Structure 1
């Protein structure tokens, strides 16, 4: 009798989930090719010390959930965000990002095949920055000996080095070609912060291929303006170098 009761309970719970997915108003909806998808937001265990909200991904017209990904995890006591997730769509792909303090961003990529089915790949989008990203000296300011002078105040990304980490981790996409070939790489990027704070003259020390070069250029071209370096109280152009690591594990 107990086993029968458990079976009936599971059937009821499963049916309730299906009805809920069919009748709920989608929190998000989008299309990949000719296929429409929607997402419902659900909460985790109400008795847990953390408040967790999930993305639940469905194909329109289907009752079976395709994916369950974290939207955010917040400590109920302190109000601090433990984990923060987001997603975006592009062509025939859905990217889910999961950020956790002091850890690399986890990337989960769902790719739609010719039959419209989604396959999953998991990787890590890991941005590694030097502790003190020092400028090589302002490009247009020289001392009497003809050598570049050191700036008095370094250029700074809005909010500091942690914010530039967040910006890159949030926007970086692991190139599909690199994922398919299971290739890892570290791109070393040089760039100039202009007097108005804009980022220009973006260069890679060497070409990496597999889509890495294009992805790095895309990220740096999207950067907001920095606070420019200062020399004797005046804004000057300055050079920076940063490594960005792509890891698949």
Structure 2
């Protein structure tokens, strides 16, 4: 008789679909830099502890260490948008607690490429009227130098 290997954990943790890289991409795409922090030049990291319910929704987000100037509220807003995949918990209603670091860095202004607009102005020259025709030269001349 062979024994089956038991799971290491009785209750399995929820995971974000796509892994940590996908979660980082989601956070960076939905994160909007607060205007007050942008004016003050505030950069740094906000640490948040959040709770995930049995459905995979973030039900609570609490700032552990923040920056202020609107960064804390923005980080909480983005964390509450996260949706996790929760494995079956045998009918138990479990809250999972996790921590996350949300980084705020002032975006570098992108230099706009020079305008590709080209304008052409075409003016048609008016032909000059000749009062008297000039006579063509009567002969040829050659100069030889030594």
Please say if residues 48 and 62 of structure 2, whose CA atoms lie closer than 8 Å, have aligned partners that are also in contact: yes
1:204 is aligned, of 63, 71, 74, to 63
**Structure with max Cα Rg:** 2
Which blocks of at least 5 consecutive residues in structure 2 are unaligned? Answer: 1-8, 109-146
Please say if residues 229 and 236 of structure 1, whose CA atoms lie closer than 8 Å, have aligned partners that are also in contact: no
Name the counterpart of 1:84: none
**Does structure 1 residue 242 correspond to structure 2 residue 108?**
no
2:34 is aligned, of 175, 182, 202, to 175
Structure 2 CA distance for aligned equivalents of residues 194 and 232 of structure 1: 14
* Between 229-238 and 160-169, the greater mean CA deviation after superposition: 229-238
Structure 2 CA distance for aligned equivalents of residues 190 and 202 of structure 1: 6
Structure 2 CA distance for aligned equivalents of residues 246 and 159 of structure 1: 22
Please say if residues 151 and 229 of structure 1, whose CA atoms lie closer than 8 Å, have aligned partners that are also in contact: no
Count of residues in correspondence between the two structures: 99
**Does structure 1 residue 221 correspond to structure 2 residue 80?**
yes
Please say if residues 228 and 237 of structure 1, whose CA atoms lie closer than 8 Å, have aligned partners that are also in contact: no
In the TM superposition, what is the alpha-carbon distance from 1:243 to its structure 2 partner? 0.6
Asked which structure has the greater RCO (Cα within 8 Å, sep 6+), the reply is 2
TM-score by length of 2: 0.59
In the TM superposition, what is the alpha-carbon distance from 1:208 to its structure 2 partner? 2.4
| Shift >4 Å, 4+ stretches | 229-235
Query: SS of 2:33's equivalent?
Result: coil
* Equivalent runs, 1:74-223 vs 2, <5 Å: 152-223=11-82
Structure 1 CA distance for aligned equivalents of residues 10 and 54 of structure 2: 12
In the TM superposition, what is the alpha-carbon distance from 1:229 to its structure 2 partner? 5.2
In the TM superposition, what is the alpha-carbon distance from 1:230 to its structure 2 partner? 5.1
Q: Structure 1, residues 129-167: CA drift from partner, whole Å, max 9, x if none?
A: xxxxxxxxxxxxxxxxxxxxx654221112221211111
Please say if residues 151 and 230 of structure 1, whose CA atoms lie closer than 8 Å, have aligned partners that are also in contact: no
Taking structure 1 as reference, are residues 151 and 171 closer, same or farther at Cα in structure 2, changes over 3 Å only?
farther
TM-score by length of 1: 0.36
CA RMSD of aligned residues (A): 2.3
